[in-house]
Structure 1
Amino acid sequence: MSKKSPDKEELELFRQAVQDVRRLEAEPRQRPERPRPSPRPRQRELDEAAVLDELLSDPVNPEELETGEELLFVRSGLQHKLVKKLRRGELAIEAELDLHGLFRVEAREAVVRFLNECRQNRVRCVRIIHGKGHGSEQKRPVLKQYVNHWLQQRDEILAFCSARPVDGGTGAIYVLLKRGG
């Protein structure tokens, strides 16, 4: 198929049809601006996801965790002198977490969040107040049993023990964390 050139009559008709058309002045080409994504608190989302991933497991039966009045946990290899200082309350408390009024799931999330913050801030010794259970339905220290179990699962926990009476007695514990981040 060959192309046919327009004749004079067709060219004249075309010129009449476009006689009122004016050339637009060319503007510099611009890329269309993409709408920027709305700001998201990505680090907070990552932290919250990490909290969910790191939730501590609960014991199968909390009754099996019944402890005496005082709590004591020490990782093997820890210096006896350091444990003695912890038990006497001679180490400076750098942070504190109070679990009063929290339910088990809330308390577990609070403990995980607290320990992560302590690790990030290179905190060495903390106090966790779990209460004595006077406000619980069973009138026994439910959170105390869970905290005892949860802390033993964390590698950064070197030792913990019940606090001195002036710092909460059997309703609180001193916790010694590993050095570093």
Structure 2
Amino acid sequence: MTKDRKLSTDERILWGKVARSIRPIQGMAGARDELDALLNEAQQQASTEKRDGADPRSAGSGSQQTTEAAKKASSGIHYPLERPVKRKIANGRVALEARIDLHGLVQSEAHLILLDFLIRAHTRGMRHVLVITGKGSSLGSDGALRRAVPLWFSKPEFRYLISSYEAAARHHGGEGALYIRLARRPGEAS
């Protein structure tokens, strides 16, 4: 991120939620109050922008994304997992290090929760996770999350986190779940 670029409203809200979920370092308890105030301010600004009809992403210099992640996002697509890797995950020889179930969530909730989950998993150095979207075949639903989640992966906020993904094996949820290989962290050995 360039030094001149300011965080957009959505980025500030997301950062506030992530920062809220951590424990402060001993002696830094006052910083949490500061973060709460920033989060409340960002949420109020977002609600006024929505009410006024302004696009929150165009506020400030947020539209000047020159970050490496934004360049990668526009550069292409995610590739499916290699067949041997998928087979090893399905057989249990490669462990799924974390899983999240998005059943019953609306898309806006699921988007934030999934992004937070993937950021945490990536930060912890995890490589393979399972995301359960559900097949969406109950009550006349056509699987909104099942269709939306792979589309989200091409957005800049997800792009740098994910190396590849593919539908899970039947016993892990089949087409209602995804195996995700997270990208390596910068400086991490192959």
Which band: TM-score by shorter chain? 0.5 to 0.7
Which residue, out of 137, 144, 152, partners 1:150?
152
Partner residue, 2:83:
84
CA shift digits 1:137-162 (9 cap, x unpaired): 54211101110101133122111000
Consecutive unaligned residues in structure 2, runs of 5 or more: 1-28, 47-55, 58-76
What are the equivalent positions in structure 2 for 1:14-53 lying under 5 Å apart?
A: 39-41=30-32, 45=36
Q: CA deviation at 1:96?
A: 0.5
Which of the numbers 168, 172, 175 marks the counterpart of 2:177? 172
Are residues 105 and 92 of structure 1, via their aligned partners in 2, closer, same or farther at CA, if it must alter by over 3 Å? same
Alignment partner, residue 93 of structure 1: 96
Q: Give the TM-score of the pair, scaled to structure 1.
A: 0.55
C-alpha contact 1:87 1:162 (8 A) present in aligned 2: no
* C-alpha contact 1:119 1:180 (8 A) present in aligned 2: yes
Asked if 1:104 corresponds to 2:107, the answer is yes
Structure with bigger RCO (C-alpha 8 Å, 6+ apart): 1
Contact 1:127 1:172 in 2 (8 A): yes
Match of 1:68 in 2: none
Residues 1:140 and 2:142 are matched in the alignment: yes
Aligned residues: 118
Distance 1:178 1:152 in 2: 14
Give structure 1 regions of 4+ aligned residues with deviation exceeding 3 angstroms: 42-49
Supply the distance in 1 between the matched residues of 2:165 and 2:35 (Cα, whole angstroms).
29
Provide, for residues 52-109 of structure 1, a one-character-per-residue CA deviation record: whole Å limited to 9, x for no partner.
999xxxxxxxxxxxxxxxxx9517xxxxxx6113432253200111000100000000
TM-aligned CA distance change 1:47 to 1:86, over 3 Å: farther
Higher share of residues assigned helix: 2
Q: Which runs of 5+ in 1 are unaligned?
A: 1-37, 55-71, 76-81
TM-score by structure 2 length? 0.53
Mapped contact 2:119–2:161 kept (Cα < 8 A): no
What percentage of aligned pairs have identical amino acids? 30
Matched residue, 1:127? 130
* Further displaced range: 154-163 or 168-177: 154-163
